[in-house]
């Protein structure tokens, strides 16, 4: 479990891991980045109370670095990746291990079940759980078991990781996708089991959400530069949306200033249609049955969906054109999280 500024979530996340119903010994290794909210002190307190909890340092604060340090410190043949913003059902690991053996896979993952405590966080959770929000990846609500492109978190065979290598420490976002690509190219199975699910608590503020998705989009652009056609076509939807909106704005300005008139103006107006359809779709999703408990939930949903799409899409374009370089997700940095009303 890589950990950075997670004081509000860490204790519960650790409790659900330590409560796993597994037949055999287990340990929980926390890779501690330099937190500023008291997370490190809490982690030390937890470790002092349970000898199954092991602490390793992650001074670089990079997720793949922390994961590798934790894996290297591990003693057992199966690696269960967990997140400080997640909660596991007590039988999650046992059932995942059974699936791992049943289908002879190298990595097994399930569904990310996002949840929220405030109107804003609930809106983000609905976006995560909806195919409109994150593009319909299997672990965002899939129901069909089978081979997968990647796995959410993942229950992995240590022997396969030793063979293909651990997480690529030059990739700061999307490191799980890249590892699973190597696993699949080595001839092993990555498997999706929809009966497995993990509760995930998303970002608590609009600015943190925008920073998270911008960084993730930029790294996806970097992965496109590195692996080209190995990337799914669904990753290109957000940048296509950004490009369409930019084009629609340019056409609108030219029309308003009289620089574009007549037949050309009428033809160019078609670019406004997909933007209007997108806007209508956002409104329908926000106001529909799954739109939330009250008007604040619905309004936040209307704000959250385009924030996710446009931040990710713009980051993707920059990543493709210029690369990710040292881009980091700063949404976990700084002081304690302050939830929105």
Q: What average pLDDT does this structure show over 282-292? A: 80
* Helical spans, DSSP H, in the chain: 7-18, 39-49, 63-73, 92-102, 119-129, 131-134, 158-164, 175-185, 206-227, 237-256, 262-268, 272-287, 295-322
Residue 234 lies in a domain: yes
Dump pLDDT digits (tens) for 3-36. Answer: 999 999 999 999 999 999 998 999 999 999 999 9
Q: What is the pLDDT of residue 311?
A: 97
| Nearest C-alpha neighbor of 95 from the set 37, 35, 145, 133 | 145
Instruction: State whether the Cα torsion 231-234-239-244 is positive or negative.
Output: positive
Residue 297: C-alpha distances to residues 27, 56, 206, 227, 287 (Å)? 39, 39, 13, 38, 9
The verdict on 295 and 183 lying in the same domain is: no
Identify the CATH number of the domain in which residue 110 sits: 3.90.550.10
User: Does residue 306 lie in a domain region?
Assistant: yes
Q: What total number of domains does the chain contain?
A: 2
pLDDT tens column, 36-68: 999 999 999 999 999 999 999 999 899 999 999
Q: How confident is the model at residue 293 (pLDDT cuts 50, 70, 90)?
A: low
In a domain, 123, yes or no: yes
Taking only the tens place, the pLDDT of each residue in 232-279 is 888 999 999 999 999 999 999 999 999 999 999 999 999 999 999 999
Angle at 112 between CA 239 and CA 67, to 5 degrees: 85
Give yes or no: residues 10 and 105 share one domain.
yes
Residue 18 CA to residue 250 CA, distance in Å, equals 55
Q: Single out the residue of 212, 99, 98, 84 nearest to residue 153, CA to CA.
A: 84
What number is the average pLDDT over the span 211-229?
A: 95
Q: Which of 83, 63, 311 is nearest to 172 (CA)?
A: 63
φ and ψ at residue 54, rounded to 5 degrees: -115, 135
| 304 falls within a domain | yes
Same structural domain, 192 and 302? no
Token pair in block for residue 86: 């997640």
Confidence check: pLDDT of 335 > 70: no
pLDDT tens readout for residues 130-159: 888 876 666 666 778 999 999 999 999 999
Residue in the block written with tokens 């129901």: 143
Is the pLDDT at 199 greater than 70? The verdict is yes
Same domain membership, residue 251 and residue 177? no
Q: State whether 175 and 125 are in the same domain.
A: yes
Token duo for residue 273: 């249609």
Question: Nearest to residue 122, comparing CAs of 281, 282, 278, 295?
Answer: 295
Find how far residue 200's CA is from the centre of its chain: 10
Which residues, in sequence order, are bridge partners of residue 56? Answer: 31
Q: Which two tokens stand for residue 307?
A: 């924030």
Range of the domain at 128: 2-204
């Amino acid at each position: 479990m890589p950990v950075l500024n997670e004081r509000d979530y860490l204790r519960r996340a650790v409790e659900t891991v330590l409560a796993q119903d597994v037949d055999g010994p287990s340990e929980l290794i926390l890779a501690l980045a330099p937190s500023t909210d008291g997370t490190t002190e809490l982690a030390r307190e937890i470790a002092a109370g349970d000898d199954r909890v092991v602490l390793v340092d992650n001074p670089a604060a990079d997720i793949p670095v922390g994961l590798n340090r934790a894996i290297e410190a591990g003693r057992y043949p199966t690696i269960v990746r967990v997140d400080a913003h997640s909660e596991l059902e007590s039988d999650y690991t046992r059932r995942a291990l059974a699936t791992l053996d049943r289908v002879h896979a190298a990595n097994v993952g399930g569904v990310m079940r996002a949840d929220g405590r405030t109107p804003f966080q609930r809106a983000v959770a609905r976006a995560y759980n909806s195919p409109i929000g994150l593009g319909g990846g299997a672990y965002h609500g899939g129901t069909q078991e089978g081979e997968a492109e990647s796995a959410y978190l993942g229950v992995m065979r240590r022997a396969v990781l030793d063979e293909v290598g651990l997480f690529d420490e030059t990739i700061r976002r999307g490191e799980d996708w890249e590892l699973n690509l190597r696993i699949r190219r080595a001839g092993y199975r990555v498997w999706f089991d929809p009966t497995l699910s993990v509760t995930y608590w998303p970002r608590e503020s609009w600015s943190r959400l925008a920073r998270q998705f911008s960084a993730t989009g930029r790294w996806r652009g970097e992965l496109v530069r590195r692996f080209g056609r190995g990337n799914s076509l669904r990753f290109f939807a957000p940048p296509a949306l950004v490009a369409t909106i930019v084009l629609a704005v340019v056409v609108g300005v030219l029309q308003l200033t009289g620089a574009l008139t007549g037949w050309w103006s009428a033809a160019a107006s078609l670019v406004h249609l997909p933007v209007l359809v997108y806007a209508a779709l956002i409104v329908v999703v926000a106001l529909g049955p799954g739109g939330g408990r009250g008007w604040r939930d619905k309004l936040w949903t209307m704000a959250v969906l385009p924030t996710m799409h446009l931040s990710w899409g713009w980051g993707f374009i920059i990543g493709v054109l210029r690369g990710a370089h040292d881009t980091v997700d700063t949404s976990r940095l700084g002081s304690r999280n302050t939830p929105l009303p």
